[in-house]
Amino acid sequence: MEEQQRRALRRGRARLVAALRVEPLWDPLEQRGLFTRPMLEELQSAGSRGEQARQLIIDLETRGKQAFPAFLSILRDTGQGDLAEMLIQECEARPVPAQLPDLRPVELELREEKQRKNVTPRERLSIPVQAESERPRMPPVPARASAVDKRSHDQDYEMKADPCGHCLILNNVNFSRDSGLSTREGSDIDCEKLERRFKALRFTVLTRRDLKAQEMVLELLKLSRQDHSALDCCIVIILSHGCQTSHIQFPGGVYGTDGKPIPIEKIVNYFNGSNCPSLRGKPKLFFIQACGGGFVSWREKSSGSWYVETLDSVLEQYAHLEDLLSMLVRVAHAVSAKGRYKQMPGCFNFLRKKFFFMCH
């Protein structure tokens, strides 16, 4: 799908969610080959009509070059020609100049980087981090009780369950030849660090390796449909290649080993109140280490990515003391100090309270 067509779908999403009649679309979408029957059944399970419409528009971007004109034709055939005309107008409209900084990848020419023997050349990661040897000194950790005593039950998420919750790690290392995506060497090291760290933080950890996009979706759905009533939290960690979009709220997506993308927004929505009622009002955390997507960083074959290395170190030093967002600021500080070019991990926060891990 061309960029102006994706932009038209995003600009028109609010109106489509409000007005789109999805029921008459299912059969034509299958007949035109845009979606398979299992994919449509998944869309139909998204919740209300509006939620189904939203998910359909998001998924439509991944369905190939003919998806947009075919969708317009289906809209006209089902008596929704006004929505088709709206999308055509949005497609022809000039894009609004972006106010965000240019995030295109740049090639680092640092002499010190060229001397690192084990660094994968020009590896582009979505969340870059500071190397151990160049990490800025962190301030001394205060006494353990000083922050705990200041916590307010009205302002903090309750974390009393043991285990705290489930932690699912999806670790994609080897990709099909047809995908054109390289092997993510060092990702297994990241995975092992995260397994140890979140087990130590009282989570039940389940790891799945080298999954196709549909297999990843099934694992996410399986987790979302479990009963989380007796638990306080849920964590999803994805280590894979990634792609970038211009959607500001949920940037880009991640690839399965077959080279098919899954939008980040779709992953997050599997765990919303409609799809996962037993987690309603409870914190859901997503850590995504995705190569690509427009950001520049490095990953070492022998020690894994700098993002996970720094995240693991910060959690080890401060999880007993500080809330999650404060720790992510520490990670961001370490990342931004790397080299001549600014590198900053993305943090998208929809938490309503402060989140403290339960440490024993």
> Which residues have a catalytic role annotated?
241, 291
Distance CA(226)–CA(21), nearest Å, equals 30
* Six-digit token string for 281: 């009002």
- Pick from 122, 114, 119: nearest CA to 131: 119
Distance CA(310)–CA(219), nearest Å, equals 27
Please name the residue that has the structure tokens 């240019």. Answer: 102
Sequence-ordered list of residues with C-beta below 8 angstroms from that of 268, at least 6 positions apart, any chain = 250, 284, 286
Q: Are 281 and 275 in contact (CB under 8 A)?
A: no
| CA atoms within 13 A of residue 318's CA, in its CB half-sphere | 20
Helices (H), ranges, the chain: 3-11, 13-19, 26-31, 37-44, 49-60, 67-77, 81-92, 111-114, 144-148, 187-200, 213-224, 264-269, 306-318, 324-336
Map residue 21 onto helix, strand or coil.
coil
DSSP letter assigned to residue 329? H
- Pick from 47, 18, 43: nearest CA to 277: 47
